Amino acid sequence: MFLYFYNMLKYYNYHINSYNGSHMIISIINSKGGVGKTTLSINIAHSLQIRGYKVLLVDSDPQGSSRDWNAINEGTILPTIGLDRAGSLEKDIKAINGFDVKVIDTAPQAKELAVAAIKCADLVLIPIQPSGVDMWATSDIVGLIKERQELLNRPKAGFIVNRKIMGSTTSKNINEMLSKAGLYVFKHGLNQRVAYSDSISMGKTIHDIGGKAKNEVELLVDELLEFIK
Ligand X SMILES: Nc1ncnc2c1ncn2[C@@H]1O[C@H](COP(=O)(O)OP(=O)(O)OP(=O)(O)O)[C@@H](O)[C@H]1O
Return the closest-CA partner of residue 105 out of 75, 77, 84: 84
- Is residue 162 involved in binding ligand X (CB under 6 A)? yes
Contacted entry of Mg ion, ligand X, none for residue 36, CB cut-off 5 to 8 Å set by kind:
ligand X
| Binds ligand X (CB under 6 A): choice among 55, 56, 59, 61 | 61
Which run of H or of E encompasses 117? helix 111-119
- Is residue 60 involved in binding ligand X (CB under 6 A)? no
Closer residue to Mg ion, CB minimum distance, 59 or 216: 59
Closer residue to ligand X, CB minimum distance, 52 or 222: 222
Contacted entry of ligand X, Mg ion, none for residue 62, CB cut-off 5 to 8 Å set by kind:
none
Contacted entry of ligand X, Mg ion, none for residue 192, CB cut-off 5 to 8 Å set by kind:
ligand X
Q: Which residues contact 23 (CB under 8 A, 6 or more apart)?
A: 16, 99, 100, 101, 102
Q: How many CB atoms sit inside 10 A of residue 195's CB?
A: 18
Stretch that binds ligand X, among 16-24, 27-35, 118-126, 171-179 (CB under 6 A): 27-35
In angstroms, the CA 69 to CA 80 distance is: 10
Shortest distance (Å) from residue 173 CB to ligand X:
18
183 touches 118 (CB < 8 A): no
In angstroms, the CA 197 to CA 202 distance is: 9
- Is residue 38 involved in binding ligand X (CB under 6 A)? yes
Closer residue to Mg ion, CB minimum distance, 23 or 203: 203
| Binds ligand X (CB under 6 A): choice among 96, 175, 192, 207 | 192
| Binds ligand X (CB under 6 A): choice among 20, 139, 197, 215 | 197
Q: State the amino acid at position 201 in one-letter form.
A: S
Closer residue to ligand X, CB minimum distance, 183 or 190: 190
**52 exposure class (CB count in 10 Å sphere: 0-12, 13-18, 19+):** middle
Shortest distance (Å) from residue 28 CB to ligand X:
8
| Binds ligand X (CB under 6 A): choice among 19, 26, 27, 36 | 36
In angstroms, the CA 181 to CA 37 distance is: 20
Q: How many CB atoms sit inside 10 A of residue 14's CB?
A: 12
In angstroms, the CA 163 to CA 128 distance is: 8
Closer residue to ligand X, CB minimum distance, 155 or 189: 189
Q: Which residues bind ligand X (CB under 6 A)?
A: 33-39, 61, 63, 65, 108, 162-163, 190, 192-193, 196-197, 200
